[in-house]
């Protein structure tokens, strides 16, 4: 499907800019903002066309391989992967592929029997009839029966988007009964078959080191006004600085590090606000100390994957899989070349340790999911602590960097793969929504988004679909 290539006049641009609320849409990109190491490596992913009216530029952050499986829907959402100095509404986005369907905001495929194989997939982005960016990937479709009778073990490492086990749970529910393959998820967190190593608020550096200062996780429900990031609460004995908020529909948990005092919180009680935003008093039903890095050996003060496996009676082979989904907490408030370099060092350190114990084990780097589509979600989750636009700038640099360094033929040959969590999640419909009064003087209730970076269950299920498509390709 190909969108009509319209020749936009300067007047058209101003009208389009007004329509989407961008007063500065015609400000050209600077040389610095138009350049990127990723696009030096992958020149097809961006080009810049200069004209008297506007310097149109776009970047396409798509992994080079798209993993899909018969009977499971896969979506590629354009707002997740196409970034420009112009609003996407003014661009002509064209998917060139012999399979699937292109809709207004996304491309979708639900492979049918007989579709298995490898196809070319290309996204072209044009403005005013001129191509400004293009990215070609491989579309790999596996059959539903592939892997029947086989098995593998999967260890999922991550932050709060893994801590709930949601995307693992949907694999166990929807795909495990197919037994193609049989999957065993490992980890010290989670319940039943939904095991994992997900910890709210964690970063690459914590899994590559001793885990840093312990935090406490407080379970709560019926919350009208969640604490904000960096707010300080006390349980009457110690003070806790909030580092993570995972509240959906007034229920969930917050986590914080002990910033004053020496006592651990009671198993249940009330948190009283000292500073920051959030309810003045919040009852909590349970508190637990989040463990230090499970892969860290306290005696030797180093990563020790062999001890981790032995401690939990786990065995893994080179045909098993370790996945890593991190990055949100690393770059949420700020990003820099030094921070990105440290992320690379930390991830490589983790891979080296895993590979020293299980040589050539499969490593899946899950490209970090984007946030909710709306600033409203950031208002609910973070008050004025961060904006959607501010985080998105940091997020784009992160995804760019991960693709530069790990989305290569050489990495895939060494069994390190990029899994497309980033393109597969619906930022508009699959993030939690809530209602609130339009204002204090109005009786009108309006719907808005309710969580900045945590999807609702349907979003997590899309992540599970993407992971399962990749797992099928390994068998």
Give 408-466 pLDDT, tens digit per residue: 999 999 999 999 999 999 999 999 999 999 999 999 999 999 999 999 999 999 999 99
Residues 282 and 315 in one domain: no
Tell me: do 236 and 206 sit in the same domain. no
**CATH assignment of the domain containing 433:** 3.40.50.1110
Domain assignment present for residue 348? The answer is: yes
Pair (310, 384) in one structural domain = yes
Q: Are residues 16 and 28 in the same domain?
A: yes
Q: Give residue 49's pLDDT.
A: 45
| Domain containing residue 88: CATH number | 2.60.40.10
Indicate if 238 and 336 belong to the same structural domain: no
Span 161-198, pLDDT tens digits: 999 999 999 999 999 999 999 999 999 888 889 999 99
Are 260 and 157 in the same domain? no
> Does the pLDDT value for residue 250 go beyond 90?
no
- 48-77 per-position pLDDT tens digit: 444 446 789 999 999 999 999 999 999 999
Question: 100, 124, 142 — which closes off a domain?
Answer: 142
Residue 382 half-sphere exposure, CB side, CA atoms within 13 Å? 22
Same domain, 306 and 181: yes
C-alpha 156/C-alpha 474 separation (Å) is 16
Residue 285 domain flag: yes
Are the C-beta atoms of residues 152 and 81 closer than 8 Å to each other?
no
What distance in Å separates the CA atoms of residue 222 and residue 390, rounded to the nearest whole number? 30
Whether the predicted pLDDT of 29 surpasses 60: no
**pLDDT for the residue numbered 32:** 38
pLDDT of residue 25: 33
Q: Which H/E stretch holds residue 419?
A: strand 416-419
Q: Where are the strands (E) in 15-129, listed by range?
A: 48-50, 55-60, 65-69, 74-77, 82-84, 92-96, 101-102, 106-109, 117-127
pLDDT of residue 252: 87
Each residue's pLDDT tens digit, 346-398? 999 999 999 999 999 999 999 999 999 999 999 999 999 999 999 999 999 99
Does 367 fall in a domain?
yes
For residue 407, the SS3 value is coil
The distance from CA 136 to its chain's CA centroid, rounded to whole angstroms, is 22
State the average pLDDT for the chain.
89
Quickly state the pLDDT bin for 290 (edges 50, 70, 90): low
Domain count of the fold of the chain: 3
Percent of all residues in the chain with a pLDDT value above 90, rounded to a whole number:
76
User: Among residues 289, 320, 343, which one ends one of the domains?
Assistant: 289
Q: Is residue 416 part of a domain?
A: yes
Helices and strands of the chain, counted as H and E runs? 15, 28
Query: Is the separation of the CB atoms in 269 and 233 below 8 Å?
Result: no
Q: Which pLDDT does position 191 carry in this prediction?
A: 86
Same domain, 161 and 307: yes
Instruction: Please check whether residue 352 is in contact with residue 405, taking contact to mean a CB–CB distance below 8 angstroms.
Output: no
**Alpha carbon 95 to its chain's center:** 23
Of the given ranges (21-25, 145-149, 240-244, 457-461), which has the lowest mean pLDDT?
A: 21-25
Nearest to 241 by CA among 211, 203, 208, 201: 201
Task: Give the up-direction half-sphere exposure of residue 424: CA atoms within 13 A in the CB hemisphere.
Answer: 31
Domain span at residue 193 reads: 151-211+293-474
Confidence of residue 44 (pLDDT cuts 50, 70, 90): very low
User: Do 158 and 49 share a structural domain?
Assistant: no
What mean pLDDT comes out for the span 124-133? 97
Residue 453: predicted pLDDT:
96
Choose one of 265, 289, 313: the last residue of a domain: 289
pLDDT of residue 137: 98
By the 8 A CB rule, do 41 and 376 touch? no
How high is the pLDDT of residue 189?
86
Q: Could you tell me if 309 and 443 lie in one domain?
A: yes
């Amino acid at each position: 499907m190909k969108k009509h290539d319209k020749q936009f006049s300067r007047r058209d641009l101003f009208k389009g800019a007004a329509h989407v609320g961008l007063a500065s849409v015609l400000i050209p990109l600077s040389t610095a903002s138009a350049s990127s190491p990723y696009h030096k490596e992958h020149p097809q992913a961006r080009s810049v066309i200069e004209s008297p009216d506007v310097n149109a530029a776009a970047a396409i952050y798509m992994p080079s391989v798209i993993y899909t499986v018969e009977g499971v829907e896969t979506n590629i959402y354009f707002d997740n992967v196409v970034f420009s100095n112009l609003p996407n509404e003014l661009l002509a986005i064209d998917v060139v592929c012999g399979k699937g369907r292109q809709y207004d905001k996304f491309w979708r495929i639900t492979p049918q029997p007989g579709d298995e194989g490898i196809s070319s997939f290309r996204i072209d982005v044009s403005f005013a009839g001129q191509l400004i960016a293009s990215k070609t990937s491989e579309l790999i479709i596996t059959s539903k029966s592939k892997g029947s009778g086989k098995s593998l073990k999967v260890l999922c490492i991550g932050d709060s988007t893994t801590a709930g086990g949601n995307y693992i749970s949907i694999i166990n529910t929807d795909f495990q009964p197919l037994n193609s393959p049989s999957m065993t998820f490992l980890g010290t967190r989670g319940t039943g078959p939904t095991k994992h190593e997900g910890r709210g608020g964690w970063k690459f550096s914590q899994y590559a080191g001793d885990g840093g200062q312990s935090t406490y996780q407080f379970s709560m429900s019926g919350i009208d006004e969640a604490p904000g990031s960096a707010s300080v609460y006390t349980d009457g004995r110690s003070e806790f600085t909030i580092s993570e908020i995972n509240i959906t529909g007034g229920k969930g948990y917050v986590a914080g590090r002990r910033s004053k005092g020496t006592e651990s919180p009671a198993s249940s009680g009330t948190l009283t606000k000292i500073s920051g935003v959030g309810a003045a008093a919040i009852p909590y039903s349970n508190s637990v100390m989040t463990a230090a890095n499970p892969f860290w050996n306290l005696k030797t003060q180093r990563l020790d994957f062999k001890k981790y496996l032995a401690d939990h009676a786990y065995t893994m082979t080179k045909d098993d899989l370790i996945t890593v989904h991190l990055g949100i907490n690393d770059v949420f408030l700020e990003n820099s070349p030094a921070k990105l370099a440290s992320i690379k060092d930390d991830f490589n350190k983790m891979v080296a340790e895993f590979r020293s114990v299980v040589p050539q084990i499969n490593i899946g780097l899950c490209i970090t999911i984007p946030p909710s589509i709306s600033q409203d979600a950031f208002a609910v989750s973070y008050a004025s602590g961060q904006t959607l636009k501010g985080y998105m700038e940091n997020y784009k640099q992160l995804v760019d960097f991960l693709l530069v360094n790990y989305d290569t033929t050489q990495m895939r040959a060494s069994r390190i793969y990029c899994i497309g969590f980033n393109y597969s999640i619906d930022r508009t419909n699959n993030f939690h929504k809530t209602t609130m009064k339009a204002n204090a003087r109005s009786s009108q209730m309006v719907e808005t988004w309710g969580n900045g970076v945590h999807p609702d269950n349907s979003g997590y299920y899309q992540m599970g679909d993407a992971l399962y498509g990749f797992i099928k390709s390994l068998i």
